[in-house]
Amino acid sequence: MPIHDQGYRRYGGRREAHGRTWWVITRAGIIERLRERKFLGLLLVAWLPFLVRTVQLYIAANYQQTAQFLGPTPGLFREFLQQQGIFVFFITMYVGAGLIANDRRANALQIYLSKPLTRVDYVVGKLATLLIFLIAVTWVPGILLLLMQMMFAGNLTFLKANLFLFPAITAYAAVAVTMAAFSMLALSSLSKSRRFVAVMYAGLIFFTAAMYQALRGITSSRAWAVISPGDVLNVFADVIFRNQNTPPIPFPVALLVVALLLGGSVLVLERRVRGVEVVT
């Protein structure tokens, strides 16, 4: 029997309005990652510090003699979020490296962009995939930790005294995950190999930190922190969590560095995410 006899029917059903296609991409990206045991393992490990901090808060709330050294302080939340930085790094590498690189390898961009979605939809869809996982290991456990403190203490005393912690945790997590996600997505659009992208990202983080330390040692100037995204993020942490340390660079400069990083990433994405690659 010729294959065309298997039939083809016209579709008369409903069609979604434009504007939700980014979520189709995000949803597929999330499902694909959650099917991988290795990744689920990584997510579980990323929540271990939360468990440890929860136990710490429980002990501090129930055993008065430990309250002095285990008791909650705004610093505890900052430390917790900064410790989560290592998981932000690994999840960014794991999820983000292949987000666009794999599509470029398989020529999938022309498939995507021949559908009724814009380049912005595509980038937002990919970005949201990474952001959701990063938020799941930063903002979500950070806020939960604050709620745990309230629950174990049985009062709102700490919270009332440190009401800024809700927006602080939100703001710090937002800056950290946005920087990681945008820079990784931009790097991912530059290559067809996810491994090469992962190496580039690791280089961006570690090489710039090492360069900062080297230049700081040579010139005795902390201003070189501008070249290290990790140290720029620390400046944000100091300001957001009201730390009295003298930052290596003024906050407006740190803000400018983050803006440049995000702007540069957007520029790279604008140039690289196209239906056809034109080489002239």
Per CB under 8 A, the segment of 19-27, 47-55, 59-67, 215-223 that binds other proteins is 19-27
Contacts made by residues 260-263, CB under 8 angstroms, sequence distance 24+? 261/179, 261/182, 261/183, 261/229, 262/178, 262/179, 262/182
Longest alpha-carbon distance in the chain: 83
- The span from the CA of 151 to the CA of 74, in Å, is 17
Out of 41, 116, 263, 264, name the contact with other proteins by CB under 8 A: 116
**Per-position x/- string for 29-68, each x denoting binding to other proteins as judged by CB under 8 A, each - no binding:** ---x------------------------------------
Task: Confirm or reject binding of residue 275 to other proteins (CB under 8 A).
Answer: yes
Task: Confirm or reject binding of residue 271 to other proteins (CB under 8 A).
Answer: no
Q: Angle of helix 37-46 relative to helix 48-62, nearest 10 degrees?
A: 30
Backbone angles phi and psi of 56, in degrees to 5: -60, -45
- The span from the CA of 280 to the CA of 194, in Å, is 26
Task: Give helix then strand counts, H and E, for the chain.
Answer: 16, 0
Total residues contacting other proteins by CB under 8 A comes to 41
Out of 64, 65, 68, 280, name the contact with other proteins by CB under 8 A: 280
Out of 14, 37, 38, 160, name the contact with other proteins by CB under 8 A: 14
Which residues in the 142-181 window bind other proteins by CB under 8 A?
Answer: none
Burial of 137 (0-12, 13-18, 19+ CB in 10 A): buried
Which residues in the 210-229 window bind other proteins by CB under 8 A?
Answer: none
Find the shortest distance in angstroms from Cβ 10 to other proteins.
5
Q: What is the CA radius of gyration of the chain?
A: 22
Out of 82, 102, 170, 243, name the contact with other proteins by CB under 8 A: 102
Nearer to other proteins among residue 121 and residue 238 (C-beta): 121
Task: Confirm or reject binding of residue 1 to other proteins (CB under 8 A).
Answer: no
Nearer to other proteins among residue 53 and residue 126 (C-beta): 126
Out of 40, 105, 147, 206, name the contact with other proteins by CB under 8 A: 105
Per CB under 8 A, the segment of 39-47, 52-60, 116-124, 228-236 that binds other proteins is 116-124
Find the shortest distance in angstroms from Cβ 94 to other proteins.
14
Which residues here bind other proteins, judged by CB under 8 A?
A: 2-4, 6-11, 13-18, 21, 24-25, 28, 32, 98, 102-103, 105-108, 110-118, 274-276, 278, 280
